[in-house]
A and B are shown apart, each in its own frame.
Chain A
C-alpha cells in the first residue's frame, strides 16, 4: 500500500487536479447537505401547532382540516413523510409552498437573481474596498494606520439596517439621488450594495493587512527588493498576491455573511429576493420554503468551499507537494 502510494505521488502529471481530495470533499459535502435538510425537516415537523392549521389559514369549516391533512399527506407517519420528502428532493422537486400554493422551486427561481446580483456586486465592491484600505494603510504613519483601522472597526460594528436607513435618509429623502425602494435598474442597486459591502470591506481589510504584514517579513520579499523592484510594485504584485492566498479560505464564510446580510438589506430597501421570501416564509411558517432556503444556503456553502479548497491546492504548490 505504502509503495503504491509513493508511486502515484512520484507521477507529477496526475497531480494537477487532486481527484481523491475532490471526491472526499464532494462526499462530505453531500453528507452536510443531507444532515442540514434532515435536521431542518425534523425540527420543523415538531413545530408547535398543527400544519393543517397553517394551511387552512383564515378559513374554517367542518371537514376542511381533514381534507387538507389527506391532500398534503400529513396523516402519514413522520418517517413516511421524511422518505417521501427525500425522494422528491432527489428528483429535484422542492415541494409546494403552504402559503403561496406554488412550487417552491418556481418561487425561488423567480427571486434568486435579484439576491445573487446584490450579493455578487456587494462582494466585489467590498473586496476592492478592502484591498484599497489594506494597501493604503500599510507602511504608513501611525496616525494614518489608526485612522484606517478605526474606519474598519466602524464598518464591522455598524448594523447593516442602520447604514441602509442612514443612506436612505441622505441620498433618497434629502437629495433624491436614488430610489427609495424596488429593484429597477442600477440606481436602485447603489445604496443596497454600499450597505452590504461595508461590513465585508471592514472585515476583509483587517485580514488582508495582517496577511500582507506577515508576507512582507518573508525572505522572498527581501530578494524582490534587492532586485531593485519599486516599493509599490513589491506591495501590489508580490505581497498582495501572496497575502490573498490565505484569504481564499474565508470566502465561503464571507459569501454566507453576504447572503445573511442580503436578508436584512432587502428588507430595508424593499427589494424582492431570497431574503424577502425567507422572511415571509418564517413569519408565515411556510415550512417547505424554509427548508428549500436552508438547502440553498447549505448548497452554496458546500459548493463554494469545495471549489475553493481545490483551487487552493492548484494555486499553492506547497499543498500539492504535501498530499
Chain B
C-alpha cells in the first residue's frame, strides 16, 4: 500500500525536481522523419516570406475561361471556379495559414507567461491573503477558459470582435492561454523555492533583480517545447474557423477559406478541396514531428 502511494507521488511530481546524474550523451543521428519534416517546414517558411520564388502566377487573377480545369502541366493543382491557379493560391495561402497560427501561439505564450508569472510570484511575494487571492483568481480564470472547447471559445470571441485575420489569431490564442499559464505558474513556484534563488536574495540582490536575472530565465525554458508542439494545433484551429467563414474573408487564399469555397463544386472538381487540405495536414504533421523531436532532445538533456 505504502509503496503504491509513493509511486503515485512520483508520478505526480515532474522529473524536474529529481536531478539524476546525466548519462554520457550519445551522438544521435536525426531520424529521417525529422529531417523530412524540417525540410518541409523550411520550404513553407520560404513560401511565407517570398511566395514568388515558387510561382509567378498571381493568386488573385481570375481567368473566367479557365474555370475548373483539372490539374495539368500548366496548372499543377488545377484551377478553381473563377479560373484562379490553385497551386499559386496554396503557395500564397501559406502566408495566412502559417502566420495566423504562429501569431495565435505567440499571443498565448506571451499572455500565458505573464499571467502564470504574476500568479506564481504574487503567491510568494505579496504577503498574506492577498497574494493567495491573486494566485487563486488566475487559477479560476484558467479553469473557466479551459472549460470551453477551443472552437466555441474562439466563436464567442469572433461574435464580439467580428471575423478577420487579427481577431482569429487572438481568438485561437486565448484558448491556449491556460496551458502556458499553468506551466509557467508551477515552474515559477518550483524555481522560487530553489536554493540559488535564496542565495541570490541572501547576497543582497533586490527582488526585481532576482526575478529578472534568476527566476525568469529558469521559468521560460519550459516554453519553447510547449509552443513547438502547440503551433500545429493552432494552425489546425485557424483553418477550421476560416472554413466556417469566421477568419480571413473570401478572396484571400487562406487554406481553410479555399476548402470552404471548393465545397460547392466538389462533385465535379475534387482538386479544389484536396490540395489545400493536403497542405494543412502536411504542415501540422511536420510541425508536430519537429516539436516532438525538440521535446525528446531537451528531455534527454535534462534527465
Q: A159-B236, A159-B277, A169-B266 are in contact. Are A263 and B155 (CB under 8 A)?
A: yes
Asked whether B259 is an interface residue with its Cβ less than 8 Å from the other chain, the reply is: yes
Q: Give complex CA distance A256, B281 in Å.
A: 22
B277 near A43: Cβ-Cβ < 8 Å: no
Q: Which of A43, A161, A165 has a CB less than 8 Å from the CB of B156? A: A43
Asked whether A4 is an interface residue with its Cβ less than 8 Å from the other chain, the reply is: no
B239 → chain A, closest Cβ, in Å?
6
B110 → chain A, closest Cβ, in Å?
20
Residues of B within 8 A of A301 (CB): 147-148
Residues of A within 8 A of B266 (CB): 165, 168-169, 173
A44 near B245: Cβ-Cβ < 8 Å: no
B141 → chain A, closest Cβ, in Å?
8
Q: Sort chain B's interface into a size bin.
A: 35 or more
What 1/0 flags go to B254-285 for Cβ under 8 Å of A? 00100100110011001001100100110011
Q: Give complex CA distance A224, B10 in Å.
A: 24
B153-185 interface (Cβ within 8 A of A) = 155-156, 158-160, 162
Asked whether B107 is an interface residue with its Cβ less than 8 Å from the other chain, the reply is: no
What 1/0 flags go to B143-155 for Cβ under 8 Å of A? 1101111111001
Asked whether A247 is an interface residue with its Cβ less than 8 Å from the other chain, the reply is: no
Asked whether A148 is an interface residue with its Cβ less than 8 Å from the other chain, the reply is: no
Q: Give complex CA distance A173, B267 in Å.
A: 6
Residues of A within 8 A of B263 (CB): 165, 268
A40 near B288: Cβ-Cβ < 8 Å: no
What 1/0 flags go to A202-233 for Cβ under 8 Å of B? 00000000000000000000000000000000
Residues of B within 8 A of A279 (CB): 155, 244
Asked whether B1 is an interface residue with its Cβ less than 8 Å from the other chain, the reply is: yes
Residues of B within 8 A of A168 (CB): 266
B159 near A47: Cβ-Cβ < 8 Å: yes
Residue of A nearest to B149 (CB): A260
Q: A153-B289, A162-B280 are in contact. Are A44 and B148 (CB under 8 A)?
A: no
What 1/0 flags go to B1-40 for Cβ under 8 Å of A? 1001100100000000000000000000000000000000
Q: Give complex CA distance A35, B138 in Å.
A: 12
Question: How many A-B contacts are there with CB distance less than 8 Å?
Answer: 136
B182 → chain A, closest Cβ, in Å?
13
Residues of B within 8 A of A35 (CB): 140-141, 144
A161 near B243: Cβ-Cβ < 8 Å: yes
What 1/0 flags go to A140-170 for Cβ under 8 Å of B? 0000000000000110111111100110110
A46 near B160: Cβ-Cβ < 8 Å: yes
Asked whether A36 is an interface residue with its Cβ less than 8 Å from the other chain, the reply is: yes
A264 near B244: Cβ-Cβ < 8 Å: yes
Q: Give complex CA distance A259, B149 in Å.
A: 7
Residues of B within 8 A of A65 (CB): none
Asked whether A59 is an interface residue with its Cβ less than 8 Å from the other chain, the reply is: no
Residue of A nearest to B283 (CB): A157
> Quick check: which of A80-88, A104-112, A290-298 contacts chain B, the rest being far away?
A290-298
B149 near A162: Cβ-Cβ < 8 Å: no
What 1/0 flags go to A39-53 for Cβ under 8 Å of B? 110011011100000
Q: Which of A47, A48, A281, A297 has the most CB of B within 10 A?
A: A297
Asked whether A278 is an interface residue with its Cβ less than 8 Å from the other chain, the reply is: yes
Contacts A36-B147, A283-B245 known; list 11 others, CB within 8 Å: A31-B140, A32-B140, A32-B144, A153-B285, A154-B285, A158-B284, A159-B243, A166-B273, A166-B277, A263-B151, A302-B147
Binding site for A on B (CB under 8 A): 1, 4-5, 8, 140-141, 143-144, 146-152, 155-156, 158-160, 162, 232, 236, 239-240, 243-246, 256, 259, 262-263, 266-267, 270, 273-274, 277, 280-281, 284-285, 288-289
Q: List 6 A-B contacts (CB under 8 A).
A: A36-B147, A47-B159, A260-B149, A281-B159, A301-B147, A318-B8
